[in-house]
Structure 1
């Protein structure tokens, strides 16, 4: 994944170096509510940042709702700016994950006090060094872990945390918190790829319908796992609570109309025939009960979606 992130960053540098620079967006984080971000804000504004996003959160946690929203909304050509790397990420791997998300959006990253600026060749070199350090760090941790387990077994001791084996309440509580933090990090890492589809289709569609649409795009969600992920996003203030409302009963044709609108909105480049192929893969029957979808049937549903406001008139499929 690191090599992919570095390649994406290099490709983005080649593209963005030929176009006007976008906005400079600052990100200021402090560990507790008692601390203030004014010092970071002053430095970011001096660097040219007109917009600054503030976050209060522990450096030991990847759960950064404000940062996640910023990365989701950032535009191509924009640059995310921080005072120091430790204000953004808790580890080298976390930093590379964030940069990978930024480069996927065509955006850059800059740290004012570190030699990292993905819009420059020097900054890209520093990023490659960080990637090599991260790989070495993981390899060393893996070797130490294996050596520790082997030594423990040689002495007749069981590997792992004794507090967890003995089911001590305080250790189980810490383990639960760690699992929740890891779950949140996984959800945030992919939210920009599936959450827009959920927002377009909820609450008109059931979780089952949306999970089936997302499966066509490579997400192996079950309806319950998808609902749980959205519930977590809502609890963290990263999604609107209306997404969790119960889906109202809908006539079959209305359900098909919103399903087609959801597929089309997720990928406006799909042709009418390609949308029909997706519906056949989802085993959806036509309004007349058939199994084969004609482009005209898809177009009728898209036209209805436009009349009811589910799609903008400017949106169309060929």
Structure 2
């Protein structure tokens, strides 16, 4: 059996990690990575470092599922990536979620199926909403910019003057290079 590596997270700097760390140590974690950052944030240095440290045969342990994943689909993705690398996963406070056992793997696969079902429902509702909007004569996207638009006129004039570089024009007008070239072609 490999190492037991823990990950603990709280959402704000004034919250304490002590309860999570104590439980992870009691469960056998010798090394524990931590973050004091909102779970909604994609960049979590502690979690990134933890995942880089894990090797096949190791087990990642968290206090609760919500400490690891931003959402059910994100959680499923993380645990699936762990499984593909032959890394186990245990959540201490969520009952039987222990992918190192057959029953824990089953529970997690049920979660994964529910997350996939949720994604498909969202896609289905989005497609139905777009179809209904088209039936009413509405189409998505931004309204096209007219040649007479002051931004187009300014972009063309600045480009023709050759006083500023493309980057400077884009910075001044707060537009991308692609948008600038589209304006110039109009």
TM-score by length of 2: 0.69
CA contact (8 A) 2:33 2:49 kept: no
- In the alignment, is residue 131 of structure 1 matched against residue 112 of structure 2? yes
Counterpart position of 2:51: 71
CA distance in 2, matches of 1:131, 1:144: 20
Counterpart position of 1:27: 7
- Higher Cα Rg, which structure: 2
CA contact (8 A) 2:97 2:107 kept: yes
- In the alignment, is residue 57 of structure 1 matched against residue 37 of structure 2? yes
CA distance in 1, matches of 2:111, 2:49: 25
Tell me by how many angstroms 1:152 deviates.
2.2
**Among candidates 103, 114, 124, match of residue 122 of structure 1:** 103
Q: What is the total number of aligned residue pairs between the two structures?
A: 142
CA contact (8 A) 1:62 1:89 kept: no
Tell me by how many angstroms 1:39 deviates.
1.7
- In the alignment, is residue 46 of structure 1 matched against residue 26 of structure 2? yes
CA distance in 1, matches of 2:60, 2:74: 15
Counterpart position of 1:147: 128
- Structure 1 unaligned blocks of 5 or more: 1-20, 167-318
- Structure 2 unaligned blocks of 5 or more: 144-186
Counterpart position of 1:37: 17
Bigger relative contact order (CA 8 A; separation at least 6): 2
CA contact (8 A) 1:27 1:54 kept: yes
What CA RMSD, in Å, does the superposition of the two structures yield over aligned residues?
1.8
TM-score by length of 1: 0.42
CA distance in 2, matches of 1:74, 1:40: 19
CA distance in 1, matches of 2:87, 2:56: 5
Tell me by how many angstroms 1:67 deviates.
1.1
**Among candidates 90, 99, 111, match of residue 91 of structure 2:** 111
Higher helix share: 1
Tell me by how many angstroms 1:34 deviates.
2.3
Moved over 4 A (4+): none
